[in-house]
Amino acid sequence: MKYNFNEIEAKWQKYWAENQTFKAVNNSEKPKYYVLDMFPYPSGAGLHVGHPLGYIASDIYARYKRHKGFNVLHPQGYDSFGLPAEQYAIQTGQHPAITTAENIKTYRRQLDQIGFSFDWSREVRTSDSSYYKWTQWIFIQLFESWYNNTTNKAEDISNLIAIFETEGNTNVNAVCDDDVETFSADEWHGFSSKEQQKILLQYRLTYLAETEVNWCPALGTVLANDEIVNGVSERGGHPVIRKKMTQWSMRISAYAERLLQGLDTIDWTDSLKESQRNWIGKSVGASVSFPILSFPIGEEKAGTKTPGYMTGGNNSHLLIERAKDMRANPTQAEAALWEQLRNKNLDAKFRQQHLIGDYIVDFVCLDKKLIIEVDGKIHESQIEEDAKRTEVLENDYFKVIRFTNEEVLSNLESVLKTIREELSQRESIKSEQVPPSGSREIEVFTTRPDTIFGVSFMTLAPEHELVSQITTPEQKETVDAYILATAKRSERDRMADVKTISGAFTGAYAEHPFTKEPIPIWIGDYVLAGYGTGAVMSVPCGDQRDYDFAKHFNIPIPNIFEGADISEEAFADKEKTIIANSDFINGMNYKKATKRVIFELEQLGQGQGKTNYRLRDAVFSRQRYWGEPFPVYYVNGMPQMIAKEHLPIKLPEVEKYLPTETGEPPLGNAKKWYWLQYGDKADIVSKEEFENSSPSGRLGGALELNTMPGWAGSSFYFNRYMDPTNDSEMASKEALDYWQDVDLYIGGSEHATGHLLYSRFWQKFLFDKGVVPVDEYAKKLINQGMILGTSAFVYEVSAYYTIENEKFHVKLKNPIFVSENIYLKSTESRKKDVFTPEAFKFSEVDYKILELIIKYGGNKFKEEPEFHLNPIHSDVSFVNASNELDINAFRNWREEYKDAIFIGEIGKVIPFGEDLGGDNVYKVGREVEKMSKSKYNVVNPDNICEQYGADSLRLYEMFLGPLEQYKPWNTAGITGVHSFLKKLWKLYHQGENGTFYVTSSPPSEGLGEDKELGEALKTLHKTIKKVEEDIENFSFNTSVSTFMIAVNELTSQKCTSREVLEPLLVLISPYAPHIAEELWSKLGHNESISTACFPKFDGSHLVESSKNYPISFNGKMRFTLELPLDMSKDDIEKTVLEHEKTKEQLQGRQPKKVIVVPGKIVNIVG
């Protein structure tokens, strides 16, 4: 009987579906086991052979666990919100829900035909409103929570309000915005509702904040970093600008430490944990403030709470003396005016000869930002400079009014009147600071506070906000040029180019907290604005980048390490550090010195110990249509949550999926998108309806126009699978308590820092809120590798003329393609040294090509053109296993190739209609690349299933190599596993004419058969042992080999015994379930094989009496010798030495030493 895989597979797939064979129950006597795949995004292209790799592995494991007696949960669903469907909708007008449903149908069909044991009754789709109801619910929970650092968990926002009401926020230790102002309970009660809501937003775990984004006005959307190439959008090449936008953010930073610590408790791959650790980016050290020195004497140590009147720039220390001088010697006019302005005579505080930036102005009222200049004769020649000065000052929002000496002296009353008028018109800025008197210190974060005495300069990121304020006029040009140059370099450029050292001196100095020495302040692009404070204290002796920078700019490199040689490079080792030349920390090691320095900094009020995380809060708003709507409406600009009972807030219909004309997200196109609620009754209505409704008892307002990002729905789906149809809870407590967590999670490593970090964050949050019972949701995680495509290349002849260094391509009448061999020969000939005479001639092959160009290229070649060979992708389906191209298929592929000429391997034109014959075939070149539509190297599993069956596909994908490894797909190899299945089938059909034949052999039936059965049992148990070990180690490729060996052995043993063949089927069934089910039922079983017990390994069948010892000489194996296993060491040595082959090897030499490892090896030295 033939192995009719198509029929068998269809039969059992139907059986499984009808009998719900793989339905998991939420309570069972059996232990639970949860196997999860990262659910797919259903793209329009359907599955290619790379997709099922992880699913097959997890399916094998799930089926194995069922055999082992577990209640297995193995669900599948779809991450069905996302950009591609939206793009398609924009292009075609087709609703994304429709395309998504179609794509899912294709996926489901493809998944079904591979025979996965998914429990489809638990399917979820993130775009279903019954699913995203819970996405919205979790969002509300986050909004209603804050992170209490004291209890180290998320708590209800009502707790926080209670604290505010009783004691204000001074004692609250929460993760919140940086700029939260302190208030008392009384003040809290005094705030308006809006003010209170604003304050609470600074604490909530999801909050509205201004975020800087890459905005593309043309596309009306925000772009990710990798969607921008060279400053323009990847799609369409439109300009991109940095823009501030109010968006929802997730306070994931609150969980930084726990996300880091949690990694130690889960069995994920090291590389994945490492990426997450890097992403979280914890560094422990100190924050240190360095006062900026270049300020007026007496004001330089002013610290952060700088009095508002210090408005001088960096050069104040130079200018202040002159200002004092001018104050002492006023002109007649100045003196007269000052007499009227001083002592708040005009109800405004005026200062005379005051520093504003780098200018000394005659009089200024800082509160009203009004400057009064009295111009003497000397200024007439300087009108231009004055204009510039006025411009600069007015740019800082000062108003400058000018009077001449005469005006002041002759008509003081009118001058004062003008001043009074100006004053009355200008607003008081009292509490605000007057630039540039903002920060007078540079705050840095360092992981090496112990090296603080080695600081010889400071480096700011070119983007640092202080740069413009502290740069001296002399350095301004250099610094500006440098900033401009940096801004032009892309982040990738800056990263790739580590060797170029660049920077500029600002001209300003900072003061060392301990030595009080001035430290030059530089800017350099090796310091990034986004990390820490965007400034570093540079310790060239201890940090290689600082070292290189110092060397390059001739900055001193003081050595503060005992016995360290820093003549060539920095000494970065922490452990061996002994500090020297460092005042009070001399002789200390890294740890002690760090502690002491932090202590001393705290004494000075110039620093403290600090832990820094790189992890930033995650932006949660997307200006898209095809995503979860927020359950949020706005009242007076403040967000309000919609109550749980009104969820889900369904995605509204829109006419078009593009941003509105006013630049609002696509939801702005919805006709009805206002929330209107009276008591329990609520509705989504149009703007007009809302505005015409009665305000009494009304709740509601404009609904949020953004939607949630792709990772929202995927951050908790593993919990939803436990109880997927529950309408009153995300999942019932019973279900969550029963299933707990995922035991095995398989997916691609591309999700390492996106999905896998965010979902851990949500899980921890839900754990804090008591929703889920565990705070890590996946115990073990495996990354499957990618299956790569083997692209095929044809080599097109491309002819051109070169005129004045410009290439002019010639379109050939018949396109010409050369075979791989010709291509290789031609490229080889061109590699030759250009200075040899041969290089000026074409090689033989090239001559031939040239001839053909002239023959087939058209008829008007006045002179010989040049040419090159251009590899282009051919569809892999036109190529057979021997890399031979189906020329006719290729010609029919595209109109322009219809008349193509092909030159075969031996360099002759292949005549039309005659291909794949003889030596002169056309061969393609091969290269391994990612599988992608554009490379025409995609292999579809449908064809494979049709041709070889799902069991063959499953086995072959596993057989290709280790699960985690990247490996190329080569369909040719599938014949190997397919013929294995045929052999397996045959093994059970050894009856006459290939009929099913299995014997139920009773224990003793003559010596001969017993012996044969013994051999078969040995094969079986060897296989059981190996396969069980392999599955447990996720080494699926080796178990496929083991099956092949077993079937080969049993075939040659002609084994027909049920005692062997029945357990063998259970072993194979996780890998090739269809054939296993079929043979199982032929063995007389009425139940599916899926719940059969995994066979038990019995070592007694493997006991051997002898061993074929390898006998080696000096470590090299020369021959083998069969010896009894119970032979003693000495006897073995004796027997081996007496053997004639040994004598032959030694040729009379006396062995120096004989190593005998019983049961393993014999090695003779000599």
Residues 718-757 that bind RNA (CB under 7 A): 749-750, 752-753
Applying CB under 7 A, among 53, 364, 527, 901 the residue interacting with RNA is 527
Task: Specify the residue, 231 or 973, whose C-beta has the smaller distance to RNA.
Answer: 973
d(CA 663, CA 659): 6
d(CA 1135, CA 1123): 9
Q: Is 1143 in the site for RNA (CB under 7 A)?
A: no
Q: Distance of alpha carbon 295 from its chain centroid, rounded?
A: 45
Q: Is 906 in the site for RNA (CB under 7 A)?
A: no
Q: Is 1158 in the site for RNA (CB under 7 A)?
A: no
Instruction: Write the DSSP symbol of residue 945.
Output: H
Q: Which of residues 26-55 bind RNA (CB under 7 A)?
A: none
Amino acid identity of residue 164, one-letter, is F
Q: Is 261 in the site for RNA (CB under 7 A)?
A: no
Applying CB under 7 A, among 943, 979, 995, 1106 the residue interacting with RNA is 979
Tell me how far, at minimum, the Cβ of 1073 lies from RNA, in Å: 20
The CA–CA distances, whole Å, from 962 to 20, 1034, 1038, 1041, 1161 equal 32, 8, 8, 12, 30
Q: Is 589 in the site for RNA (CB under 7 A)?
A: no
**Of 46-54, 381-389, 404-412, 1116-1124, which segment contacts RNA by CB under 7 A?**
1116-1124
Applying CB under 7 A, among 147, 765, 948, 959 the residue interacting with RNA is 959
Tell me how far, at minimum, the Cβ of 241 lies from RNA, in Å: 21
Q: Which of residues 485-514 bind RNA (CB under 7 A)?
A: 491, 494-495, 497-498
Tell me how far, at minimum, the Cβ of 1049 lies from RNA, in Å: 9
359's enclosing H/E stretch is: strand 359-365
Q: Is 595 in the site for RNA (CB under 7 A)?
A: no
Applying CB under 7 A, among 1115, 1126, 1129, 1134 the residue interacting with RNA is 1115
Q: Is 285 in the site for RNA (CB under 7 A)?
A: yes
Tell me how far, at minimum, the Cβ of 492 lies from RNA, in Å: 8
d(CA 835, CA 832): 9
Sign of the Cα torsion 864, 870, 875, 877 reads positive
> For RNA, how many residues bind (rule: CB under 7 A)?
85
Task: Specify the residue, 334 or 525, whose C-beta has the smaller distance to RNA.
Answer: 525
Task: Specify the residue, 325 or 750, whose C-beta has the smaller distance to RNA.
Answer: 750
Partners of 669 in the beta sheet? none
Structure tokens given for 1030: 């392999």
Q: Is 279 in the site for RNA (CB under 7 A)?
A: yes
Q: Is 275 in the site for RNA (CB under 7 A)?
A: yes
Locus of tokens 């959307």: 221
Q: Is 438 in the site for RNA (CB under 7 A)?
A: no
Tell me how far, at minimum, the Cβ of 551 lies from RNA, in Å: 14
Closest among 452, 454, 451, 453 to 577, alpha carbons compared: 451
What end-to-end distance do the CA atoms of the chain give, in Å? 60
**Of 147-155, 625-633, 889-897, 1112-1120, which segment contacts RNA by CB under 7 A?**
1112-1120
Q: Is 611 in the site for RNA (CB under 7 A)?
A: no
The packing angle between helices 844-856 and 820-830, to 10°, is: 120
Q: Is 245 in the site for RNA (CB under 7 A)?
A: no
Instruction: Write the DSSP symbol of residue 264.
Output: G
Applying CB under 7 A, among 446, 606, 798, 1069 the residue interacting with RNA is 446
Tell me how far, at minimum, the Cβ of 951 lies from RNA, in Å: 15
Tell me how far, at minimum, the Cβ of 197 lies from RNA, in Å: 34
Q: Is 968 in the site for RNA (CB under 7 A)?
A: yes
d(CA 701, CA 780): 46
The CA–CA distances, whole Å, from 354 to 361, 398, 488, 501 equal 5, 13, 38, 40
Tell me how far, at minimum, the Cβ of 607 lies from RNA, in Å: 12
Q: What is the CA radius of gyration of the chain?
A: 40
- Complete DSSP assignment for 1073-1129: HHHHHHHHHHTT--S-GGGSPPPPP-GGGG--SEEEEEEEETTEEEEEEEEETT--H
Closest among 958, 948, 807, 784 to 870, alpha carbons compared: 807
Q: Is 614 in the site for RNA (CB under 7 A)?
A: yes
548's enclosing H/E stretch is: helix 544-553
Tell me how far, at minimum, the Cβ of 136 lies from RNA, in Å: 29
> Is residue 356 within 8 Å of 371, Cβ to Cβ?
yes
Q: Is 967 in the site for RNA (CB under 7 A)?
A: yes
Applying CB under 7 A, among 5, 445, 457, 675 the residue interacting with RNA is 445
Structure tokens given for 387: 């204009």
Side-chain half-sphere of 769: how many Cα atoms within 13 Å? 20
The packing angle between helices 83-92 and 96-113, to 10°, is: 130
Conformational region of residue 685, where left means phi above 0, alpha means psi within -120 to 50, and beta covers everything else: beta
Q: Which residues of 290-300 are buried (b: 16+ CB within 10 A; e: fewer)?
A: bbbbbbbeebb
Locus of tokens 């034109």: 909
Q: Is 1151 in the site for RNA (CB under 7 A)?
A: no
Instruction: Tell me the residue ranges of DSSP E strands in 576-623.
Output: 607-613, 618-619
Applying CB under 7 A, among 240, 960, 987, 1060 the residue interacting with RNA is 960
**Of 84-92, 421-429, 471-479, 967-975, which segment contacts RNA by CB under 7 A?**
967-975
Q: Distance of alpha carbon 163 from its chain centroid, rounded?
A: 39
Tell me how far, at minimum, the Cβ of 736 lies from RNA, in Å: 32
Q: Is 532 in the site for RNA (CB under 7 A)?
A: yes
Q: Is 1116 in the site for RNA (CB under 7 A)?
A: yes
Residues 457-486 vs RNA: string with x where CB under 7 A? ----x-------------------------
Residues 538-557 vs RNA: string with x where CB under 7 A? -----x-x------------
Q: Is 954 in the site for RNA (CB under 7 A)?
A: no
Locus of tokens 């409103």: 129
Structure tokens given for 429: 């800025």
The CA–CA distances, whole Å, from 370 to 344, 912, 920 equal 14, 90, 91
d(CA 24, CA 75): 9
Task: Specify the residue, 979 or 1128, whose C-beta has the smaller distance to RNA.
Answer: 979
> Is residue 23 within 8 Å of 121, Cβ to Cβ?
yes
Task: Specify the residue, 218 or 1165, whose C-beta has the smaller distance to RNA.
Answer: 1165
Tell me how far, at minimum, the Cβ of 929 lies from RNA, in Å: 10
Q: Is 1145 in the site for RNA (CB under 7 A)?
A: yes
Structure tokens given for 216: 């593309």
Q: Is 447 in the site for RNA (CB under 7 A)?
A: yes
Applying CB under 7 A, among 1, 335, 484, 881 the residue interacting with RNA is 881
Task: Specify the residue, 974 or 1060, whose C-beta has the smaller distance to RNA.
Answer: 974
Q: Is 966 in the site for RNA (CB under 7 A)?
A: yes
853's enclosing H/E stretch is: helix 844-856
Q: Which of residues 1019-1058 bind RNA (CB under 7 A)?
A: 1026, 1029, 1035, 1037-1038, 1040-1041, 1044-1045, 1048
What phi and psi values does residue 787 have, to the nearest 5 degrees?
A: -90, 125
Q: Is 281 in the site for RNA (CB under 7 A)?
A: yes
**Of 297-305, 433-441, 758-766, 1107-1115, which segment contacts RNA by CB under 7 A?**
1107-1115
CB atoms under 10 Å from CB of 969, counted, come to 25
The answer to whether the annotation marks 908 as part of a ligand binding site is no
Q: Is 454 in the site for RNA (CB under 7 A)?
A: no
Q: Is 1097 in the site for RNA (CB under 7 A)?
A: no
Applying CB under 7 A, among 609, 668, 907, 1110 the residue interacting with RNA is 1110
Task: Specify the residue, 406 or 750, whose C-beta has the smaller distance to RNA.
Answer: 750
Residues annotated in a binding site: 933
Q: Which residues are annotated as a binding site for ATP?
A: 933
